[in-house]
Amino acid sequence: MNLQLEWIIFLIIFLPLSIVLILWLSSHRDKKDNMQLKKEKVWECEICYGVYTTDSKEEISKCPFCGSYNKKEAVSF
């Protein structure tokens, strides 16, 4: 079997690039499957107007910026 120089160069370039692309796509798909959103509440502090999130189980939250306590209905995402 006699390969031409163009085919040898093509294979030398194409095969490693295709392997890298396949590995990158498979790793990206695995990361995408592991991404899950947690159910949290978004709070806005009544004192400093800082915006933060907490677990949805909490009724009263403490602002991480100024330390004041907030009790109100939070917007769920």
Length of the chain: 77
Tell which wins on pLDDT, 16 or 76. Answer: 16
Q: In what order do the strands lie in the sheet with 40-44?
A: 51-55, 40-44, 75-76
Tell which wins on pLDDT, 43 or 1. Answer: 43
Q: Is 35 helix (H, G, I), strand (E, B) or coil?
A: coil
Closest CA to 40 of 2, 3, 77: 77
Confidence band of 60 (pLDDT split at 50, 70, 90): confident
Every domain of the chain and the residues it spans? 1-36, 40-76
Q: What is the arithmetic mean of pLDDT over 30-53? A: 78
Confidence band of 74 (pLDDT split at 50, 70, 90): very low
Q: Could you tell me the pTM of the whole model?
A: 0.45
Summarize pLDDT for 1-41 with one digit per residue, the tens.
567 888 889 999 999 999 999 998 888 776 655 556 667 78
